[in-house]
Chain A
Amino acid sequence: MIRTPRPDERRRVTRRRPSLGACTLAVTGAALLLGLVVAPEAAVQGQPQRLMYLHVPSAWTAFLCFGAVALCSIAQLLRRPGSWGEIAQAAAEVGVVTTGLTLAEGSLWAHASWGVWWAWDPRLVSTAVLFVSYVAYLALRALPSAVVPARAAAWVGLGSAFEIVIVHFSVIWWRTLHQGPTLLQPSLSPPPIASMMLVALLVALVASTLGAIWYVRARVAVLVVDQATPQAARQLVMERSR
């Protein structure tokens, strides 16, 4: 649908945020240093365990983004003013990419520690279903609103969020090859890993979260410009170039 951006959307597009980008780069650099150099080698799994500093943050970021899609979908369904559709789309894009990365990193790690690239395991299968669900959500949003109304896509975005719960609890509800939760244990006991590994993991979680926030904010600006009328888009571009 073609529409003119509201003044608050225009301000959001034209505002520059070098500090968030710089902060993301700095924390990402620290995460790489901690994960590859500072954190000790795992006693049993060896070096491949360092994939944890990519695998877990990717999964966390995907959950966070899909949670954001659900919240934006609720706002859309309640007809709240704001760029909820654009935020949901940007968050879903990050969620799909990080879920794909979770599966790929997990596959590499599985081959190194289990000896197989893939297993029909509840955690792996539920994560793959989550991935396909949000690819479908993005496909629905890409269709013209005359074919699939925005509210229908919002229902899919909201409904798919229940899969996050299934993925998270799959290692608790069913017998699985995949290890149980390290940070969010049901007993709330301290994480059973070395302190420097925990620090590296937490910094990587922060880096991935900041990267997702940075991308979503920048991507929403692009989507708002894309949907603007040619005159409004030209005005936005002129404001940005000042």
Chain B
Amino acid sequence: MSGWAVVAVGYALAILVWGGLVWLGLRGRRP
């Protein structure tokens, strides 16, 4: 992988993981 591809994968992973945490943890917030 080129340098920028590694960076893109890393940042996409971080956004997905944080997004998943918020979605799973707070989906019952406004029942």
Q: Is the CB of A47 within 8 A of B18?
A: no
Q: Is the CB of A112 within 8 A of B14?
A: no
Q: Is the CB of B11 within 8 A of A94?
A: no
- Contact indicator per residue, chain A 92-134, by CB within 8 Å of chain B (1) or not (0): 0110010011001100110110000000000000000000000
Residue of A nearest to B31 (CB): A237
Q: Say what secondary structure dominates the interface of chain A.
A: helix
From B7, B11, B26, A218 is in contact (CB under 8 Å) with B26
Q: Say what secondary structure dominates the interface of chain B.
A: helix
Q: How many residues of B contact A (CB 8 A)?
A: 22
Q: How many residues of A contact B (CB 8 A)?
A: 31
CB neighbours of B29 from chain A (8 A): 218, 221-222
Does A211 belong to the interface (CB within 8 Å)? yes
User: Given A47-B6, A215-B21, A222–B14 Cβ distance below 8 Å?
Assistant: no
11 contacts between A and B (CB under 8 A): A47-B6, A48-B3, A50-B7, A54-B10, A54-B11, A54-B14, A94-B21, A104-B13, A108-B13, A211-B18, A215-B21
Instruction: Identify 16 new A-B residue pairs, CB closer than 8 A, beyond the known A48-B6, A108-B10, A218-B25.
Output: A47-B3, A47-B4, A48-B7, A58-B14, A90-B25, A101-B14, A104-B13, A105-B13, A105-B14, A108-B6, A108-B9, A108-B13, A109-B6, A215-B21, A215-B22, A240-B30
Chain B residues within 8 Å of A, Cβ to Cβ: 1-4, 6-7, 9-11, 13-14, 17-18, 20-22, 25-26, 28-31
